[in-house]
Chain A
Amino acid sequence: MPTTTEPTAKTSRKYLATPIFGTAMGLVYLVALSIAGSPVWGVFALAVMVAFSGALLLARRRSETVKGLLDRNDERITAIDLRATAITAFALIAVILIAFVVQIARGQSGWPYGMLGFVAGVTYVVAVIVLRVRG
């Protein structure tokens, strides 16, 4: 009965997922800003994301928390990550709802906050249904 993920070759590189994603997003920013005619800002955005990804990898060596967040093999830190994500989502949804109400009170359409709130609501309902079915 495994309590944690077995240390296979696949999972041993799991910690690279977030830095790779960060670097990939930096490349996306570079392309997007280059298309928008601001390649210098694109290079800056890429540099920031590469620096952030590198800082994560360095912090992983010194911090158990960062290591746990990147490796995802410690159930307590994974639970903390889930709760932190839920709190983040709650804050984001609160901001979206407030912005939507302010917009419609000003006689505006509420776009894009109404759509964002709709996506958040539908995602929550679908997630509850799927997770309930899966047990």
Chain B
Amino acid sequence: MPTIRPDSARPPVHLLLLVAFLGAGCASTPTAAPPAAPAEPANLAPPAKSSEPQMTKNAQASYSSSYKPLPSQPVLITNATLLTAAGDRIERGSVLLRDGKIAAVGASVQAPAGVTVVDGTGKWVTPGVIDAHSHLGVYPAPGVEGNDDGNEATSPNTAEVWAEHSVWPQDPQFPLSLAAGVTTMQILPGSANLFGGRSVTVKNVPARGVYGMKFPGAPYGLKMACGENPKRVYGSKGRAPSTRMGNVAGYRDAWIQAAKYRQSWDDYERKRKAGDKDAIPPNRDLKLETLAGVLAGDILVQNHCYRADEMLTMIEIAKEFGYKIAAFHHAVEAYKIADVLAANGICADMWADWWGFKMEAFDGIRENIPLVEKAGGCAVVHSDSANGIQRLNQEAAKAMAAGNRMGLHLREEDAIRWITINPAKSLGIGQQTGSLEPGKMADVVLWSGNPFSVYSRPEKVYIDGGLAYDRNDPSHQPEMDFELGIRDEQGTEVEP
């Protein structure tokens, strides 16, 4: 077995126990209003920046996305089975990609002059796969200490750290996930802390720095973690938190400070706008800036939380401080409160079948994802794993089949949403990507067959219309710097 990664929660975890299991949090909706109770998941589109706080403007001027789509030309994929993630499947359908957008989708799409036609006969087309929970780049391969940048496990509240400042864009795991159809992912800090820091959502394209990958306009996430990890990491150091009630005290204390901080900036803004030239801006505080960003609705809460009862407590905290949780990550017990999650418009980001590696994962069941779907909730299949991110379609397939065994009548049209539009919504980018609909980003995967078969593989992966990966064309298979020259051809007896 390869070395076990320190961040992974993958079952052979005996070596990991001293290291925090990573988890991610949930995306929070933009509104700071108390959660309504919609039957459908709330729209998690990025907030209208109605009152963009001055306090974050400096940061936004720097660190912004410099992402440029790969060069593209118009492409028409024809005669394929389309799973649009926006309705029923379309048999023998076509998708037109033009100017980086999906220009048309349907049973018959007119081929514009000069368009490159890709014959999709016998193949399937889906939106690009989206992983709402990844640590690529922050826990890269090789998993050596010098690359270990995912958990700032030095204080229970490190809301001031940003995952993007750890992302190594040369991580060779990025192209592996691209070959698996992943076009967008959220990269999170680890779960050692109550507040782990800001996540970053990226397009899965090679770049010299993370800014060339950042998904334009995607809101930040705030990683929060429930349960065993924070209390173990800090309890073992003889400091708070060492219990779940200690965890909760830690969250609440931080939100009280964040509310005060936000108020001080609001007061300042009001004075400034009223023409008060003597108004003095409060001191910036990176930690509180992130938390206040959540309260303002600009930053989405991504909450690692396994147990049903703890999720209920986190919902209470969100109510107390007027923010909304967008997704619980690793929600192994989501099925126990699927109705509550649906009513609160909170996504549940889940594995298909990981269980038992720690106490709070003991109640995992195969039907978790289907039961969240059945309750009308926002079900997301996430990976938290450089291995799992390569098979999100298979994980969704297992969950779909388990649901069908209990009579839930799930179709591919349902399961595809768990790895495309639902994670997109949970990341606040559901308006831009996640489904095959005209006007959306042309993030598209052409599969060799039904993506819910173990034998199917992506043949072509388009990101914003650019051909980011082609299984049959090495010139469209990115290779990271680390991979160059690592295998001496003289040392190989067998033709690769």
Partners in one complex: no
| Chain B residues within 8 Å of A, Cβ to Cβ | none
| Chain A residues within 8 Å of B, Cβ to Cβ | none
